[in-house]
Amino acid sequence: MRAATAGRFARRRRSRGFPASPRSPALARPLTLSPVPTPQPQFPFRSVMPLRERRRVTGIESVGPYTLVRVDRGNLDAGVPGQFFMVEAPGRVLPRPFSLCLAEAGELAFLIDAIGPGTTAIAEVSVGDSLHVFGPLGNGFRLDVERPVLVGGGIGIAPFPFTRSVLGAGTPVVLGFRNSHFAEAAALLPGAEVVIDPVLVTEALPAGRDILACGPEPMLEAIRRIDPAAQLAWEAPMACGYGACFGCVVEIDGTLKRLCLEGPVIGGAPAVFPAVPA
């Protein structure tokens, strides 16, 4: 049918004085189709993106003013001490970032300071409830140090039970709290030296140690002034955890950085935080 139609069209062109259409040399050859290669991903999914899983709550504990929430580990990787996870409670629109506090064979645990609707919703879950957990994210502490000391202030103690379990139970720890009630959280780190004022932890630091610190900004700034090489884990509000929302942008040495990607652990550089409405 197609050949007959093409022939009639060619005869009509010649009868009207049009020159014959030249036949392309490519069309003179039989058409062959080569198999299309199957595209291969350059990077396996799990190597570039952490897992997001719905995990069952396995335990709830009060630790001073904080709440330790344990979840079934599933396929989640614990990552490196100092990294964080985004945790979302049922019915909430956005997750919240939390350092990994404990990593055990079948469980992960997060230390929650219930200061707003999102963190309160997570702290008030019950055993058997589910939480969405996404991580690990960000940059953690460098652990190839010779003489580490862990320095935590307030809720900034959260990453150090896990960190100490990796470095060794004998790693010295200095903790600062605002009062004795908050200092009850030191039970997570037996043998730690406790100071009732997080800013004054600098006076209790042993000399010649490699500092790994997490806590309020005044404490971290005080540590940075006495040890510019200290590894400091900063905090900032964020909504995504992987650099899309720009909610955690801070100024580090005159350069804007997203703490979820370039941090939260940054080696000793000063951080300038934008004002955040209460």
In the chain, ranges of CATH 3.40.50 domains: 148-272
Confidence label for 18 from pLDDT (cuts 50, 70 and 90): low
pLDDT at site 235: 87
Domain 51-136 class, CATH top level: mainly beta
The pLDDT value given to residue 63: 97
Query: Per mean pLDDT, which range of 53-57, 68-72, 113-117, 264-268 is the poorest?
Result: 264-268
Distance, CA of 238 to chain centre = 10
What local confidence, expressed as pLDDT, does residue 34 receive?
A: 52
User: Which amino acid would we find at residue 51?
Assistant: L
Looking at the structure, give the CATH architecture of the domain made up of residues 148-272.
3-Layer(aba) Sandwich (3.40)
For the stretch 162-210, pLDDT in tens is 999 999 999 999 999 999 999 999 999 999 999 997 778 888 888 889 9
Task: Give mean pLDDT, residues 130-158.
Answer: 95
The segment(s) of the chain belonging to CATH 2.40.30.10 are 51-136
Chain segment 201-237, per-residue pLDDT in tens? 888 888 889 999 999 988 998 998 889 899 999 988 8
Q: How far apart are CA 99 and CA 265, in angstroms?
A: 11
For the chain, the average pLDDT equals 83
Whole-prediction pTM value? Answer: 0.77
**What is the per-residue pLDDT across 243-255, written as a single tens digit (0 to 9) for each?**
888 889 988 778 8
